[in-house]
Amino acid sequence: MKILYLDDSYRKEECILGYGGYHVDGAALRRIGDDVAALKKQHGIPLAVELKWAPPRDHFLRTRFTGRRHELYRDALAILERNCAHVMCAVHFLNDCYGVSLHGWPMARAIPWAAKQQLKFLAERFQRPCLASSDDCGLIIVDEFGSREGQEALIEGFSLHMLLGTEYETLDRIGALPLTTSSKRSPHVQLADIVTGVIVAALAGSRYGVDLFEHAARSFFYDPHDGSERFASTVSAAVIGYGLKVFPNGCCTKAQRLFTELDRRYIVTSEKGIHLRSAAA
């Protein structure tokens, strides 16, 4: 069984909303939890402290942490790579979406609408090719929403997709409605928060996100080219639309810029996945 962990990240100034995380084989769950505990010990962080990409002002990472958060997040992303997790993220540039640009929707309306679209896309990709290609089943675990109303609206909307399917997938390999948990008590969701925060920050042009994007990108879910015996692809061609989906489609160029250097240094092949070109032989 595979588990898809999801959390959201919102950049208020740029009006960019991301929903994402990673999926991983169930056999790796205990190992990931142990790795997060070891990470906290290594960086002098109490076990009960929640790891967050954008911690509030009174959070331990802002008030008492004496290390460098860049190194902490880099090492957190390495846990995903080391445990063969596959990162997926859907991002809306809300000001460019039709509801806001054409009809003047307030963000209070645009954000729930976008979150529903993002969850649907991620579930479709989780269903196929992730679960279907390995003849497997899976569960989705998400962080609690800020409001109970927003959480119930998102899950209620998704329940119809579980029952009837979407325009593209039946979702019959996903065993139940998304389960909600508190990120404070889930090291796995804390990693989803960090990787989603990095991706959204990078797309917003933040140097902190851009500097860490490569560490997240090496774990991106990519097009497995089902039916092909062998394949080789640039990272951007294999990842955009699979591990990373940008809405609306006209904003894909903003994602392409992040992959320019990655495409020069990395390649995706059927034998080794995403790896340095020098190691392709």
Cα separation, 37 vs 40, whole angstroms: 5
Q: Provide the H-helix boundaries in 102-222.
A: 107-125, 132-133, 148-164, 187-203, 207-217
Q: What is the largest CA-CA distance in the chain?
A: 53
Cα separation, 210 vs 214, whole angstroms: 8
At 3 the pLDDT is: 98
Vertex 80 angle, CA 76 and 84, to 5°: 160
List, for residues 126-142, the tens digit of each pLDDT value: 999 999 999 999 999 99
List, for residues 149-204, the tens digit of each pLDDT value: 677 888 888 888 998 999 999 999 999 999 999 999 999 999 999 999 999 999 99
Give the CA distances from residue 251 to residues 49, 173, 227, 247, in Å, rounded to whole numbers and listed in that order.
36, 31, 30, 7
Contacts of residues 97-104 at CB distance under 8 Å and 24 or more positions apart, as own/partner, are 97/247, 97/248, 98/248, 100/15
Quote the number of domains for the chain. Answer: 1
Q: Residue 253 belongs to what H/E stretch?
A: helix 252-256
Is the pLDDT assigned to residue 280 strictly greater than 70? no
Domain with residue 205: its CATH number is 3.30.420.10
At 229 the pLDDT is: 84
Is the pLDDT assigned to residue 38 strictly greater than 70? yes
At 112 the pLDDT is: 92
Range of the domain at 129: 2-279
